[in-house]
Amino acid sequence: MATLDLTGLSVRPSQVWGGVRLVPLVRDEPIETLRLHAHVYGDSIGIVKVHRRTAYMSYIPHGFVATWSTDGTPAAAYGTEITEGSPSACLRLHFHRRMARRADKKRLRFLPMHLAVEGYLALHFGGPQIVWDEWSQRAIRNGLSPRVEEAYSGAEVEGLGDALRIFEIHPGQCGVLVYVADALAAAFVVPHPDDYRALHATLIQDLYGELVYQYAMFASPVPQFQVRLNESHVQTLADLRAEATRQQLAWPQFHSSAMAAGLLDAKYDMRRVYRMGDYTLTRFLPGFQLKQENHIGEVITDQRGRTAYLKTFRLSENQVRRGHLLTHLAVHDWHLPTTASALGVTEAQLGMRLESAGFGALLREDVLARYRRTR
């Protein structure tokens, strides 16, 4: 388990549009030896062959291409490629060989966010490892297949498109934290300011969870954080300068300790996906703590663990519960009585939780009927 390291990134004053708050992230020093650019796929549905008998299907509007150098010389982004195509009455499919695939010696193509979502969908995907009596034949043969989750594109999140279009990009900006109703919805970090300017608009095509969509739909406008100087401490220009400096430092401290604490203080299960010279592409899963923020995502770090690239997705309460249940079942070898005891509930109550979470089909029908009578 590890935490996220945003060393070298500093926050700037937030920008507010209705219920959306954007917090710019600026690098002290841009990363020159790793660059990102977008590869546009259009409006087709993407299908990725994960394993021989496992496929991932989703709306995948674009992929990212990472270019790196190993001798310390600056790497250059290729730029965004957009091709024109005639509309089709049929839904087109775009087939991808893998979530992350090497394009050439020093270029890697990967599918942003879908790399993380696929990791969540694959969580204990094989199902019960021991043939306990309570599990159905479907659970034994197919595990959790098919595994389905819902998400919304950024275009469906009320106010996000306007906020991204209206607010200017800060000099040196290499990322942004997106808040909806002052709940952290997503984090996006890239190596270089030129990369961010090229990829800023892709945030409207990214995936956002059900909680974020609902907050944007029903929340009232969030307040601006106004700067208020303590006039009693200001007698000279030096006092004014010192008070302004204190206020300038107060916002980053408040943001890191309060607003972003759910993301930065949590510990994650990190799984390496690809090694790119001095950099490592990793996806991560949270601890699935109930009634708390839980984020999945992917990150590229350097040899010292500092973040060069980051993209996160906030799970809904239902998605957290599903991850929580699957994690506890796997820890206890999918044995229902032992898992129920660890969770502090009865076996029947655990069975009802599984049904409520959408896993009822994994249990034998007669067992599920018994749980319904005795809960």
Coil, helix or strand at residue 313: strand
Encoding tokens for residue 171? 């000099």
- Listed range (58-62, 91-95, 197-201) with the worst mean pLDDT: 91-95
pLDDT of residue 202: 92
Backbone angles phi, psi at 311, to 5 degrees: -145, 130
Question: Helices 336-343 and 347-356 meet at what angle, rounded to 10?
Answer: 90
Tell me the pLDDT band of 101, cut-offs 50, 70 and 90.
confident
Spell out the alpha helix ranges (H) of 229-316.
237-254, 261-264
Selection from 264, 326, 256 nearest residue 293 by Cα: 264
pLDDT of residue 86: 42
Is the confidence at residue 242, as pLDDT, over 90? no
Cα separation, 325 vs 329, whole angstroms: 6
Percent above pLDDT 70 for the chain: 85
Where are the chain's structural domains?
Answer: 9-136+145-317, 137-144+318-374
pLDDT tens, position by position, 282-301: 999 999 999 999 999 999 99
pLDDT of residue 374: 84
Tell me what the mean pLDDT of segment 190-201 comes to.
Answer: 94
pLDDT of residue 40: 64
Tell me what the mean pLDDT of segment 14-41 comes to.
Answer: 89
pLDDT tens, position by position, 29-49: 999 999 998 876 666 566 666
pLDDT of residue 314: 96
Is the confidence at residue 97, as pLDDT, over 60? no
Selection from 125, 119, 110 nearest residue 285 by Cα: 119
What sign results for the dihedral spanned by CA atoms 292, 148, 121, 112?
A: negative
pLDDT of residue 76: 53
Selection from 144, 138, 129, 140 nearest residue 358 by Cα: 144
Asked if residue 169 lies in contact with residue 176, where contact means CB atoms within 8 angstroms, the answer is no
pLDDT of residue 99: 66
Higher-pLDDT residue of 303, 43? 303
CB neighbourhood size of 57 (10 A): 12
Is the confidence at residue 162, as pLDDT, over 70? yes
Backbone angles phi, psi at 109, to 5 degrees: -95, 125
Tell me the pLDDT band of 85, cut-offs 50, 70 and 90.
very low
Q: In what order do the strands lie in the sheet with 107-110?
A: 34-40, 62-68, 107-110, 100-104
Reported pTM: 0.85
What sign results for the dihedral spanned by CA atoms 149, 154, 155, 159?
A: positive
Tell me what the mean pLDDT of segment 118-133 comes to.
Answer: 91
Tell me the pLDDT band of 90, cut-offs 50, 70 and 90.
very low
